[in-house]
């Protein structure tokens, strides 16, 4: 088992009067893709946002490498090498693909080597380099959003439901791109409702329910156990295939 890059222990998050995360324990092994699954409303997005400091944990620790980041602010957390691809895709529709990527690079314009690396995963980014991002298809916008997150080397990339609303053929393109990205040493924590995508990409898996992790293990073991899938994920699994 790989060493842990990120470990949440007993993390609670309150949003206003609501107690959303209720003691989350989660281990994200270094160099792996960890799938975070669970029904709608289970707390998956809240967990990603809490890791990034967009919601402040009200209790518990979030250890990234050797430090507790639970009470740090978002820019400081991002500076440690953590990127976030929100469900709503953070891109600028009126700017070109190139401008979107240049703006995402904090250490100055990305060099050619990095861009070639990105184009390898997402060829449409090269093809539509000078096109306003608003004209891209849904799948291409998602690719741009992910490209922005990895325009500079990151230690950990948090990705929220990247296949949501995309056509099956486009989902397969994205799965191929993630499979490539997995070959690099990027650690990924991904929320995914599409079980086919989750199954093909996940190394490890954690399942959330009502603000807690209710199952953690290897994705291959969950994928092979239909009864466990039904117990943990219910009908949502079939509905999203």
Which residues lie near ligand ADP (CB under 6 A)? 15-16, 18, 20, 38, 40-46
- 208 membership: H or E segment, kind and range: strand 204-209
204-209 and 212-218 strand pairing: antiparallel
CA atoms within 13 A on the CB side of 170: 15
> Any contact of residue 45 with Mg ion (CB under 5 A)?
yes
- Nearest approach, Cβ of 8 to ligand ADP (angstroms)? 14
CB of 87 to Mg ion, least distance (A): 6
CB nearer to Mg ion: pick between 45 and 229: 45
15, interface contact from ligand ADP, Mg ion, none, CB < 5-8 Å by kind: ligand ADP
Between CA 98 and CA 18 the distance in angstroms is: 41
Q: Which does 139 bind (CB under 5 to 8 A by kind): ligand ADP, Mg ion, none?
A: none
Give the nearer residue to ligand ADP in terms of CB position, either 67 or 165: 165
Regarding 50 and contact with Mg ion (CB under 5 A), the answer is: no
Q: What whole-number distance in Å separates Cα of residue 149 and Cα of residue 131?
A: 19
CB of residue 43 to ligand ADP, shortest distance in Å = 4
Please give the Cα distance from 237 to 205 (Å, whole number).
14
And the tokens for 187?
């650690």
């Amino acid at each position: 088992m790989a060493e842990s890059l990120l470990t949440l222990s007993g993390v609670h998050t309150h949003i206003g009067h609501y107690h959303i995360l209720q003691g989350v324990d989660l281990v994200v092994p270094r160099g792996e893709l960890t799938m975070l699954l669970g029904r709608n409303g289970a707390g998956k997005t809240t967990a990603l946002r809490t890791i990034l400091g967009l919601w402040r944990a009200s209790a518990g620790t979030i250890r990234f490498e050797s430090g507790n980041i639970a009470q740090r602010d978002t820019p400081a957390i991002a500076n440690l090498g953590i990127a976030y691809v929100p469900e709503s895709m953070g891109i600028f529709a009126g700017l070109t693909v190139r401008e979107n990527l240049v703006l995402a690079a904090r250490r100055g314009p990305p060099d050619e080597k990095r861009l070639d690396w990105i184009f390898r995963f997402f060829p449409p980014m090269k093809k539509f380099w000078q096109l306003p991002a608003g004209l891209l298809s849904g799948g291409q916008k998602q690719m741009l959003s992910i490209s922005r997150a990895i325009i500079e080397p990151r230690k950990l990339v948090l990705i929220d439901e990247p296949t949501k609303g995309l056509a099956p053929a486009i989902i397969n393109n994205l799965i191929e791109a993630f499979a490539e990205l997995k070959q690099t040493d990027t650690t990924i924590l991904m929320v995914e409702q599409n079980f086919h995508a989750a199954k093909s990409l996940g190394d490890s898996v954690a399942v959330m329910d009502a603000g807690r992790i209710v199952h953690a293990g290897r994705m291959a073991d969950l994928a092979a156990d239909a009864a466990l899938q039904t117990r943990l994920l219910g009908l949502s699994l079939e509905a999203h295939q």
